[in-house]
Structure 1
Amino acid sequence: MQKLILMKKKLRLPMGEIKAELTTAGKITFFNQHDEVLLQEYVRNRKNIKEFCSALKVDAREFKSNLGGDFQLTMRFESNPNEKLYGMGQYQQPYLDLKNCTLELAQRNSQASVPFALSSLGYGFLWNNPAVGQVTFGKNITEWVATSTKQLDFWITAGDTPAEIEESYARATGTVPMMPDYGMGFWQCKLRYQTQEELLAVAREYKRRNLPISLIVIDYFHWPKQGDWRFDLDYWPDPDAMVRELDEMGIELMVSIWPTVDKKSENYQEMLQKGYLTRTEKGIRITHDFLGNTVYLDPTNPGARDFVWKTAKKNYYDKGIKTFWLDEAEPEYNVYDFENYRYHLGSNAQVGNIYPTMFSKAFYDGMTDAGQENVVNLVRCAWAGSQRYGALVWSGDIDSSFASLRNQFNIGLNMGLAGIPWWTTDIGGFHGGDPNDPDFRECMIRWFQYGAFCPVFRIHGDREPHSEPLGTSGGGLCPSGADNEVWSYGEEAYEIFKKYMLMRERLRPYITELMKAAHEKGTPLMRPLFYDFPKDKEAWNIEDAYMFGPDLLVAPVLHEGARSRKVYLPKGASWKDAHTNKRYDGGQYIECDAPIDTIPLFLKDGSELPVLE
């Protein structure tokens, strides 16, 4: 047991590099190894104790009973106005530093609550509670709220650098598997390949053009009914032959899995009877009505996880498909009335944020039991710990615009700091975008350049104009978006795309080393400048450039019409412009050219990465 140190009116408990001090009035304060205050509870309710003299009657820890059971929990801490806070998952907003933000602790399409915050004061804080709630990182108070829960549970760590804190957090919650080789290359996707022959024609064209491609994706509604989890043979007549041909071309195949189960599905009645489906507290048991009346799978039930995996194994995995797109993973309820849904583990209000983790676990457990190593599945949401189940998170159904690109820039960095190093976006955004529109082409080019320096390099989107459905049933019901291949945006864009696809290929050995660090230590591949340069105060203020591993600074162009931009080069290193070979001392801002075919890149301390051919 830890040694308790009794002080006057105080109890102190050393815990590694952290000490927790408890006063007789019940207030907890956390100190680092240098005896500096990291975090202390907010108490305004102790008239008899001088340091808390207040008539406000506000406690740090507050439980209020909910009608029907459990409690609403509020946890309050003192706020340092000069503190900067990062992590917490993905929220569609343009802020990297989350201080003075209020965040909903809930999962939505394009929002992933991963409640780990990294502080500039030298600590990391995990709100270890999957209940729906809210956190406010205010100037005057930090306040965590869970709307329905049974207990208070948080975890805190400290370190002299952000890397120490991240690695400590990774040891507690787990790291990603080692990314397989195909994960380092280019992934092709669109909404949606409607037939087997259409998909194979695209794959053959990539090979004919000698373009590097590692993976291609079959999106949703390739099935007869949601919840069947198998190919509709009217449109995908020979999946085994398709997988063989792709394998011969060296292209991995990914298949979309939705957790929605149509009431007309061949699996619905069995799943209903066995309790494998989400329940509603009120109203009709329909939780999603896209092209059918459907109910969500309940992955908090071990039997449900086993059922969906065994079905997918028989219909996909045994055909040679070894990676899955776990879509709708929040889940995306038609109405986000979080209190109206119930799972095997409890009410959605109490445990709902763990849903995407359990969805990932269903496939991770099944794939590893089948003998697969290095599992990776694309998932639209995550919670703390999702990474250890091979979750590659993407940022959901986002807008196709420069404003949206700027949001994704900050989201990607905060996801890495929240312990989710595998992250990507739909290059070009998801909603809209006409490949023939010159303005959208510019956005697409800039996004593509940025995407080449994300952990996974993946193109996707619902492009305009839409094509018509092919039929009136099964996989023919759903329309598709316009073409979204790299040759779909005109010759100028094609040559630029090709340049960055080849650049990504040359960097594969470097990216492999970054993936190894993520696997072994939890190190994010893309991280804010302060992660590698914590002693540079200005690096903590930079929100428009990042490090892609230890040797490459990436400064994407995030504004329409920009052909140059200012870049800060951190002190403590020398820098070389990867395009011009011009050298700079660190600790300064420079103005650099950024013509339409160029993303500013800088190599640290003489690194010789093969950025250019």
Structure 2
Amino acid sequence: MDAIVVDFFHWTRQGDFKFEPRDWPDPQAMVRELKSLGIETVVSVWPTIDERSENFGEMADKGMLVSADRGSGLHMTWMGNTVFYDATNPEARRFVWDKCRENYYSKGIRCFWLDEAEPEYGPYDFDNYRYYAGTALQCTNIYPLMYAKGFYDGLKEAGEKDVLSLVRCAWAGSQKYGVLTWSGDIHSSFRAMREQIQAGLSMSVAGIPWWTSDIGGFLGGNIQDEGFRELLVRWFEWGCFCPVFRMHGERSPWYEREEEFIDGVRQLTSGQDNEVWSFGDDNYEILKKYLFVREKLRPYMRKTMDECSAVGAPVMRPLWYEFPGDPEAWETEDEYTLGASLLVAPVTEAGAAERSVYLPAGTVWKDCSTGTVYKGGQRVIVPAPIDVIPVFVRGNEDIEVY
């Protein structure tokens, strides 16, 4: 385990950018204890400023908030009446970072989860919103880029060398600000899982190599439902072979809130458990297996990441990237290579026990599960029981997976 995330609504109010002292009496000690275990603490930051936030007045007076040309100036009303800070405004970026430096960085936190980065307006009236950089129709797509830049610049100025921010979306150039993008609040279904393969590959060839999805999907997963458990296992197996291996999701049914409001602030409850042991004993053994598979892959992943950093080669690669002369590689959308040497074929159909896999021409491929060696340039049917995702080693590479 590399990191634990303190998710949203740990704060006093949106836009205060600090821990609620009632629930987090000594965050510095918590961060210190986790660091002693080799685990980094990540905190969720939202760009929403509640109209009751202690920072709202100053930010509004100094033009640090996105404005509206007409009508209501509110952008979201979920869990409070909020306005987005204007990430295209250098002064606003500095202001938000200074608050996060004071309330998070000073307590030992070095990694930030920059959520709501689109930004997710309630009414999508883009002709109505105005930024420091121009109208929303002219420049709103750069918001996640500028949001990440504010934290990157602040962390670099503070002396950090390896900057990483988890951001819900990206724009051209986001990678230069240490952005790890995930694909947002996707549905818990096999269809959504299939779509994420294309999403990850598209991000990769767009030059944004650090990418991940919510394992199991974000919305709609009931941890007691056997169909969802199967989906989560298949997604977890695939996540093991993604650039970043990460559990996250809203698991239903939600717990009832003990109190709806405390000190005038609406409280958010929690979904069901989402740890690897939360989905039944048999499934726990499978998930545990892939935790150790990922550890085995650590040297290979570091090598692949180094290559990516040095020459820009994607971590997830469409088959055509490694095999441009193979016409079938250009037509295959549900497989990819992880780095140059591992071919990954996720199982994305409920109830499947085998998988059709295309193996690109020009080399041989060894099934990591069975040890069978196949000549490239053909499609094969391979076993895919519930505890196996088909993975193949290219040529004579010596990579232990299972």
Matched, 1:459 2:240: no
Structure with greater proportional helix content: 2
Matched letter for residue 364 of structure 2: S
Instruction: Work out whether residues 329 and 380 of structure 1, in 8 Å CA contact, stay in contact via their aligned partners in 2.
Output: yes
Instruction: Work out whether residues 190 and 348 of structure 2, in 8 Å CA contact, stay in contact via their aligned partners in 1.
Output: yes
For residues 286 and 124 of structure 2, the distance between their equivalents in structure 1, rounded to whole angstroms, comes to 41
What is the CA deviation profile of residues 168-189 of structure 1, one whole-angstrom value per residue up to 9, with x for unaligned ones? xxxxxxxxxxxxxxxxxxxxxx
Q: Counterpart of 1:481 in 2: which secondary structure?
A: coil
Q: Which residue of 1 aligns with 2:191?
A: 403
Shift of 1:520: 1.6
Matched letter for residue 213 of structure 2: T
For residues 123 and 308 of structure 2, the distance between their equivalents in structure 1, rounded to whole angstroms, comes to 36
Q: 1:264-283, aligned counterparts within 5 Å?
A: 264-283=52-71
Q: Which residue of 2 aligns with 1:316?
A: 104
The match for 1:261 among 18, 33, 49 is: 49
Instruction: Work out whether residues 551 and 603 of structure 1, in 8 Å CA contact, stay in contact via their aligned partners in 2.
Output: yes
Q: Which residue of 2 aligns with 1:565?
A: 355
The match for 2:262 among 473, 481, 498 is: 473
Structure ID, larger Rg: 1
Q: Which residue of 2 aligns with 1:503?
A: 293
For residues 420 and 510 of structure 1, the distance between their equivalents in structure 2, rounded to whole angstroms, comes to 19
Q: Which residue of 2 aligns with 1:416?
A: 204
Shift of 1:476: 6.7
Matched, 1:588 2:385: no
Q: Which residue of 2 aligns with 1:299?
A: 87
What is the CA deviation profile of residues 206-263 of structure 1, one whole-angstrom value per residue up to 9, with x for unaligned ones? xxxxxxx111111100001000000001111110111111111211111000000000
Shift of 1:469: 2.7
What is the CA deviation profile of residues 67-121 of structure 1, one whole-angstrom value per residue up to 9, with x for unaligned ones? xxxxxxxxxxxxxxxxxxxxxxxxxxxxxxxxxxxxxxxxxxxxxxxxxxxxxxx
For residues 330 and 140 of structure 2, the distance between their equivalents in structure 1, rounded to whole angstroms, comes to 34
Structure with greater proportional strand content: 1
For residues 39 and 258 of structure 2, the distance between their equivalents in structure 1, rounded to whole angstroms, comes to 26
Q: Which residue of 1 aligns with 2:169?
A: 381
Q: Which residue of 2 aligns with 1:285?
A: 73
Q: Counterpart of 2:252 in 1: which secondary structure?
A: coil
Q: Which residue of 2 aligns with 1:528?
A: 318
Matched, 1:357 2:145: yes
Matched, 1:539 2:329: yes
Summarize the Cα distance change of 1:308–1:470 in structure 2 as closer, same or farther, 3 Å threshold. Answer: farther
For residues 106 and 266 of structure 2, the distance between their equivalents in structure 1, rounded to whole angstroms, comes to 25
Matched letter for residue 345 of structure 1: A
Matched letter for residue 561 of structure 1: G
Shift of 1:498: 0.5
Matched, 1:243 2:31: yes
Runs ≥4 in structure 1, deviation > 3 angstroms?
none
For residues 416 and 545 of structure 1, the distance between their equivalents in structure 2, rounded to whole angstroms, comes to 14
Aligned residues with identical type, % of pairs: 54
Instruction: Work out whether residues 79 and 266 of structure 2, in 8 Å CA contact, stay in contact via their aligned partners in 1.
Output: no
For residues 249 and 435 of structure 1, the distance between their equivalents in structure 2, rounded to whole angstroms, comes to 29
Q: 1:50-199, aligned counterparts within 5 Å?
A: none
Shift of 1:453: 0.7
What is the CA deviation profile of residues 519-578 of structure 1, one whole-angstrom value per residue up to 9, with x for unaligned ones? 122211001100000001111011111000000000010111111011010001111111
For residues 306 and 59 of structure 2, the distance between their equivalents in structure 1, rounded to whole angstroms, comes to 39
Give structure 2 stretches of 5+ with no counterpart.
none
Q: Which residue of 2 aligns with 1:578?
A: 368
Instruction: Work out whether residues 470 and 476 of structure 1, in 8 Å CA contact, stay in contact via their aligned partners in 2.
Output: no
For residues 251 and 589 of structure 1, the distance between their equivalents in structure 2, rounded to whole angstroms, comes to 42
Shift of 1:509: 0.8
Shift of 1:470: 4.2
Q: Counterpart of 2:42 in 1: which secondary structure?
A: strand
Q: Counterpart of 1:459 in 2: which secondary structure?
A: coil
Matched, 1:216 2:14: no
**Which region of structure 1 is more displaced relative to structure 2, 476-485 or 443-452?**
476-485
Matched, 1:599 2:392: no
For residues 580 and 347 of structure 1, the distance between their equivalents in structure 2, rounded to whole angstroms, comes to 57
For residues 307 and 359 of structure 1, the distance between their equivalents in structure 2, rounded to whole angstroms, comes to 12
Q: Which residue of 1 aligns with 2:304?
A: 514
For residues 404 and 223 of structure 1, the distance between their equivalents in structure 2, rounded to whole angstroms, comes to 31
For residues 168 and 69 of structure 2, the distance between their equivalents in structure 1, rounded to whole angstroms, comes to 25
For residues 62 and 186 of structure 2, the distance between their equivalents in structure 1, rounded to whole angstroms, comes to 36
For residues 85 and 116 of structure 2, the distance between their equivalents in structure 1, rounded to whole angstroms, comes to 11
Matched letter for residue 330 of structure 1: E
What is the CA deviation profile of residues 152-176 of structure 1, one whole-angstrom value per residue up to 9, with x for unaligned ones? xxxxxxxxxxxxxxxxxxxxxxxxx
Instruction: Work out whether residues 281 and 342 of structure 1, in 8 Å CA contact, stay in contact via their aligned partners in 2.
Output: yes
Q: Which has the higher contact order (CA 8 A, sep 6+)?
A: 1
What is the CA deviation profile of residues 367-389 of structure 1, one whole-angstrom value per residue up to 9, with x for unaligned ones? 01101011111001111000100
For residues 280 and 509 of structure 1, the distance between their equivalents in structure 2, rounded to whole angstroms, comes to 50
Matched, 1:484 2:274: yes
Matched, 1:442 2:230: yes
Matched letter for residue 298 of structure 1: D
Give structure 1 stretches of 5+ with no counterpart.
1-212
Shift of 1:606: 1.4
For residues 415 and 340 of structure 1, the distance between their equivalents in structure 2, rounded to whole angstroms, comes to 30
**Which region of structure 1 is more displaced relative to structure 2, 334-343 or 321-330?**
334-343
Q: Counterpart of 1:338 in 2: which secondary structure?
A: coil
Q: TM-score, normalized by length of structure 2?
A: 0.98
What is the CA deviation profile of residues 353-375 of structure 1, one whole-angstrom value per residue up to 9, with x for unaligned ones? 10000000000000011010111
